[in-house]
Amino acid sequence: MVYNTLLNALSKSGAFTEALGLYQEMKKEGIAADVSTYTSMIDVLAKSGSVGVVEKALSLLYEIEDEYERTKRWELKPNVRTYTSVITAISRSRKQNPEAAEAVLERMKSKGVEPDTICYNAVLNAWSFSSDKDKASRAVKILEEMLASYEGGSKVVKPDVITCNTIIYSFAFSHAERETERARAMKGAVETLEFFSRKAPEFGVPDHISYGNLLLAITRQMPMNGKRDAFAEAAFRQCCLAGQLAPVIMHRLRLVVSPAKLKELVGVAILRNNGRDFTFDLTKLPKEWRRNAPRGKQRGHIASRGSVRSI
């Protein structure tokens, strides 16, 4: 269908106004919408950042569900991509509502649609970016559900490195106030990485983002002292053993360790570090340390505001 092709193209660019106009034109012309039409519209919403995105996405979902129940036309039956698009719209909304994302997950299961890995990861993403104080424990429960489905013989559910990275990120940004809570968050981040490392390559292989998120967890959950230096050094050395040293690791390392420890670990690669600017050259470090990291420019600059760029 030409309209679906156009809607799909608009969904990739997040052009909500144009997509809505095209959708209304379809209705005016009496052209029947199908699941691809609705899914593309929800995709556009997810990328648009418009006000009321969650309500609009859910409204489209309920509309297609009702149409399918009324007509029983197979081309109107919502599929896993439809529900995942709604969950993604929720996770990207300014109004953080991970419970709504999880409710959509339960809704699709009640409709006989099996969630896949991408769908579960979208729910995890909703939790990871929320301000909910229990988000890390909720993320772990979702992982447990994924594992139960996988071990139960599911052909579409299997935790992967995105699952790993999102859970570690949730622990990194846990709103832990007490020392015991911070220690628990740190323990959870480490255990998540250890679990996926132990299971590799079955559930993918932890990558530079995995180790970067672990260093982020150390930065946020541990006070600056010798113990934090030692913890971060162990994480950094494990990253290098895995061949996952990338520019983002240098950024995270600079933030987590003391200047003396930074110089000890990667001093040979530092071109400039004056407190405001940090410039480095990874080629001055052992090639083995970055053998599995994404290939690209190996020199980087980190400005005072924290962004990383290659040079």
For range 34-40, the mean pLDDT: 90
Position 61 pLDDT exceeds 50: yes
Instruction: Work out the angle between the directed axes of helices 35-48 and 53-71 (0-180°, nearest 10).
Output: 170
Flag the least confident range among 10-24, 143-157, 265-279: 10-24
Token output for 45: 């919403």
DSSP string, 116-142: -HHHHHHHHHHHHTS--TTHHHHHHHH
d(C-alpha 221, C-alpha 177), whole Å: 9
Say if residue 297's pLDDT is above 60.
Answer: no
Who wins on pLDDT, 208 or 23? 208
Task: Report the chain's mean pLDDT, rounded to a whole number.
Answer: 90
Confidence of residue 278 (pLDDT cuts 50, 70, 90): confident
Residue range 1-128, CATH number: 1.25.40.10
Burial class (CB in 10 A: 0-12, 13-18, 19+), 144: exposed
* Tens-digit pLDDT profile for residues 104-115: 999 999 999 999
Question: Is residue 25 within 8 Å of residue 6, measured between CB atoms?
Answer: no
- Say whether pLDDT at 283 is over 90: yes
Q: Which of 220, 219, 217, 165 is nearest to 192 (CA)?
A: 165
Residue 114 phi, psi (nearest 5) = -80, 125
Token code pair at residue 136: 């890390």
Q: Taking residues 111-126, report their average pLDDT.
A: 97
pLDDT in tens, 190-223: 999 999 999 999 999 999 999 999 999 999 999 9
Domain boundaries, the chain: 1-128, 130-222, 240-311
* Least confident span in 85-94, 103-112, 182-191: 85-94
pLDDT for the residue numbered 149: 98
Note the pTM of the prediction, 2 decimals: 0.89
Q: Provide the 8-state DSSP code for 281.
A: E
Question: pLDDT-based confidence at 260, cuts 50/70/90?
Answer: very high
Quick one: pLDDT at residue 199? Answer: 97
CA distances to 176, 189, 252 from 81, rounded to whole Å, are 35, 30, 34
CB atoms within 10 A of CB 35: 20
Name the residue type at position 166.
Answer: T
Q: In this prediction, what percent of the chain has a pLDDT beyond 90?
A: 72
